[in-house]
């Protein structure tokens, strides 16, 4: 079962990265990507891609993004077959079995999974896998049923609620997350306000409702938690769309990447012995020592941590286009460990002492100590 979760996690991460990379782009970029995949795809995948290309030509731009995402939701056939047929077989025996021509195709594997769920409908991981399989073949109605059953088995799970919201939006064939999907996203955010995919989708809800300030706010919060530069650039573009709705100037999407500060963060032995795991995050903040308490720049990394930690700060980490990091002669640098993964302060936070440094100082040392535990 752990192997299944790893495969599922990889699939979900791939979906999210591709969705970030292609959302809000035009049909031309989508068609180009599909054509590139067509050149190297196997026979089964070629048919799927050709169908997606045909739908793309027939659809308006707003719906076309849905077609591309549907094409990306292809779980490898071996993933599903491995779970259904091999998950109870020792790994050393699978090599021989995998070469057996009698190993079933995807359709047979799905039928087997369906039979397993008839026998044990409360198999949570089976329902989640079936939901993903149904999404991969565009059977969104059955995907919704699977995720709703999973939600009954494990209520108040933000991951399940988010996937359920997405499946319903696909089933509705409108490309919209308003209505029922929005209700599940709201519930998911209440449970886990820092889940990145949920934050991203909730921003889309706000944007659809023309609540541009809320869309900008949640995407800006999301931006501070994302480490991948390409994803940061894409989110910045979405923020600019929300800002355009407010008649605000855009954030520079080509933010400077020159490293201004190297923050070396150490922890004493007391802190190192603490059990710090997800969803905990380590945040680094840069503030104006003579101005607002709001950060000028921020970045975050996820637990677990390997000490010492070196974090780079540049204009790319700036949170506001009017107040870039490089514009300040002095900065107040600090770090905190948030056990909840939330940038907002809580009583569980572990913080460092702040340091006021001049622009041009390349390396800054911060240390978490027992006395800094709030």
pLDDT-derived band at 209 (thresholds 50, 70, 90) equals: very high
312 phi, psi to nearest 5 deg: -95, 140
Convert the pLDDT of each residue in 242-253 to its tens digit.
988 888 877 766
pLDDT of residue 77: 36
Give the pTM.
0.47
CATH class of domain segment(s) 2-245: mainly alpha
Q: Which two tokens stand for residue 308?
A: 């010492």
Residues 252-262: what's their mean pLDDT?
68
Cβ-contact 266, 257 below 8 angstroms: no
Q: Is the peptide bond before 279 cis (omega within 30 degrees of 0)?
A: yes
pLDDT value at position 17?
42
DSSP per position, 195-252: -HHHHHHHHHHHHHTT-HHHHHHHHHHHHHH---HHHHHHHHHHHHHHHHHTTPPPP-
Angstrom distance (rounded) from CA 366 to CA 348: 19
**Per-residue pLDDT at 204 exceeds 50:** yes
Please report, for the chain, the start and end positions of each structural domain, with discontinuous segments joined by +.
2-245, 259-372
Looking at residue 136, its pLDDT comes to 82
39 pLDDT above the threshold of 70 = no
| CATH fold for the domain made of 259-372 | Immunoglobulin-like (2.60.40)
% pLDDT > 70, the chain: 68
> d(Cα 142, Cα 133) in Å, to the nearest integer?
10
Q: Is 191 exposed, middle or buried (0-12, 13-18, 19+ CB in 10 A)?
A: middle
Which token pair is 290? 């003579």
What tens digit of pLDDT does each residue of 98-140 get? 444 454 566 777 888 888 899 999 999 889 988 988 888 888 8
Residues 335 and 283: beta-carbon distance below 8 Å = yes
Split at pLDDT 50, 70, 90, the class of 65 is very low
* Mean pLDDT taken over the chain: 75
């Amino acid at each position: 079962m752990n192997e299944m979760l790893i495969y599922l996690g990889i699939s979900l991460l791939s979906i999210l990265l591709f969705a970030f990379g292609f959302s809000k782009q035009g049909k031309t970029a989508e068609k180009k990507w599909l054509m590139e995949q067509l050149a190297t795809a196997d026979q089964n995948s070629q048919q799927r891609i050709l169908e997606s290309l045909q739908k793309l030509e027939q659809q308006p731009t707003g719906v076309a993004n849905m077609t591309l995402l549907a094409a990306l939701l292809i779980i490898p056939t071996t993933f599903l077959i491995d779970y259904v047929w091999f998950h109870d077989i020792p790994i050393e025996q699978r090599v021989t079995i995998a070469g057996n021509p009698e190993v079933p195709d995807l359709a047979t594997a799905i039928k087997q999974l369906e039979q397993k769920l008839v026998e044990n409908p409360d198999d949570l991981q089976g329902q989640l896998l079936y939901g993903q399989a149904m999404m991969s073949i565009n059977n969104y109605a059955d995907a919704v049923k699977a995720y709703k059953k999973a939600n009954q088995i494990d209520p108040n799970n933000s991951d399940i609620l988010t996937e359920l919201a997405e499946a319903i939006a696909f089933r509705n064939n409108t490309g919209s997350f308003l209505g029922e999907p929005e209700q599940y996203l709201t519930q998911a955010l209440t449970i886990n306000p820092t889940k990145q995919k949920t934050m991203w989708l909730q921003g889309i809800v706000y944007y659809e409702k023309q609540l541009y300030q809320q869309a900008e706010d949640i995407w800006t919060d999301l931006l501070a938690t994302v480490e991948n530069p390409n994803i940061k650039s894409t989110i910045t573009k979405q923020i600019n769309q929300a800002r355009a709705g407010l008649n605000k100037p855009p954030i520079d999407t080509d933010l400077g990447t020159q490293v201004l500060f190297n923050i070396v963060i150490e922890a004493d032995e007391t802190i190192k012995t603490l059990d710090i795991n997800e969803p905990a995050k380590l945040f680094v903040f840069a503030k104006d020592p003579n101005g607002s308490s709001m950060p000028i720049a921020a970045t975050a990394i996820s637990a677990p941590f390997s000490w010492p930690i070196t974090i780079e700060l540049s204009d790319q980490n700036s949170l506001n286009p009017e107040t870039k990091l490089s514009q300040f002669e002095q900065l107040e640098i600090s770090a905190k460990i948030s056990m909840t993964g939330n940038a907002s302060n809580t009583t569980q936070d572990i913080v460092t002492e702040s340091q006021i440094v001049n622009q041009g100082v390349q390396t800054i040392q911060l240390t978490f100590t027992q006395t800094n535990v709030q």
